[in-house]
């Protein structure tokens, strides 16, 4: 796993301790926030921006399907 989004308020052990925080995405539907973290060997700000856009779409789709957001979402490369 190179990158993950963790819902804020979750225990730190939900993500690998050595991952670096790259930013936060807030769900427009419910306001929950997710921290985007990347493995240090794969840190890339441009990739983090693409992952944030992807995560925003996924969160919106979950609301359209009345699906609850998981605590942890693996992000694409």
* Angular region, 61: left φ>0, alpha ψ -120 to 50, beta rest: alpha
Q: Out of 5-14, 31-40, 52-61, 62-71, pick the least confident.
A: 5-14
Structure tokens at 30: 């419910």
Tell me whether strands 20-26 and 33-38 are parallel, antiparallel or unpaired.
Answer: antiparallel
pLDDT at position 15, please?
A: 60
Answer yes or no: is pLDDT of 13 > 70. Answer: no
Supply the range of the domain harboring residue 17: 3-74
End-to-end CA distance of the chain: 9
Structure tokens at 27: 């769900």
Average confidence (pLDDT) over 39-57:
97
Q: What is the pTM of this model?
A: 0.90
Q: How many residues does the chain have?
A: 77
Give the chain's domain count.
Answer: 1
Structure tokens at 44: 């890339």
């Amino acid at each position: 796993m190179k990158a993950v989004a963790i819902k804020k308020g979750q225990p730190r052990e939900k993500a690998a301790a050595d991952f670096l925080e790259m930013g936060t995405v807030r769900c427009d539907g419910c306001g929950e926030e997710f921290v985007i973290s990347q493995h240090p060997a794969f840190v890339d700000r441009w990739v983090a921006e693409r992952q944030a856009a992807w995560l925003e779409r996924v969160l919106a789709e979950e609301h359209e399907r009345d699906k609850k957001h998981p605590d942890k979402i693996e992000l694409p490369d």
